[in-house]
Copies of this chain bind each other. A is one copy, B any other.
Amino acid sequence: MSVRDPVPAMSAALKGAQIYFGPFLVTSQVKYPPIPHRKIISLTVHKVFHLTPLSFALVNLKPILPGHVLVSSRRRVPRVADLTAAETSDLFLTVQRVGRMVERVYGASSLNIAVQDGPEAGQSVAHVHAHIIPRKRADLDHRGGIDAVYHLLDGEEGDLRRAFGEGKEGERRPRAKFPAVDNEGRSPRSMEEMEAEAEMLAREMERMEREIVG
């Protein structure tokens, strides 16, 4: 196969990167491996699993469905219109690549791709980001059908913000009220679970890109 994407991934740069999603640091120095008497290597796979020159991809605290991830611009701007042409291209080429990968890894057959571009569209973290949600046949029939994903998406947005920062930054954005969503059944994932998924997805992205280049 030939190289399709003009912007190469820089997975190696994940180590040591400090990436912010809105006001929230989504990389962190974790000690790995946790083995005594062995050189400690710092990994920064806390939530971010893929990095390009202008974009990054991160896992979710409360995924709506398995493989639900976000792709965000590295520059912290609130609106799609604030992105340069290069940033816009890179963001959606990253959405395309990451979407292909999570669809395969999670055994899905479709994707919901959604950008809440501004507070009146449901955006809660003022930093451009696209949701990618792998879909399978009848995967939400028990929650109300195919479009239940959007109810859950809006619930997730709220959860995401609360999980990252409520009470920490004092930055609050007014957000329109909407009907109560079935969030009670979803409990936040552990740090270990999120890191394990982020590591797995980072490996899958590198593998896929080796295949594309090779």
Which of A's residues lie within 8 Å of B, judged by CB?
4-6, 80-81, 83-85, 88-89, 91-93, 95-96, 99-100, 103, 108-123, 133, 135-139, 141, 144-151, 153-154, 175-179
A137 smallest CB distance to B (angstroms): 5
Alpha-carbon gap, A120 to B109, bound state (A): 7
Question: Cβ of A116: which chain B residues have Cβ within 8 Å of it?
Answer: 110, 112
Q: Are B114 and A100 in contact (CB under 8 A)?
A: no
Q: Are A176 and B6 in contact (CB under 8 A)?
A: no
Q: Are B80 and A177 in contact (CB under 8 A)?
A: no
Q: Are B110 and A136 in contact (CB under 8 A)?
A: no
Q: Are B100 and A81 in contact (CB under 8 A)?
A: yes
Partner of A135, one of B91, B95, B121, B135: B121
Q: List 8 tightest A-B contacts by C-beta distance, closest first.
A: A110-B118, A150-B150, A145-B178, A110-B120, A110-B121, A92-B92, A89-B89, A113-B115
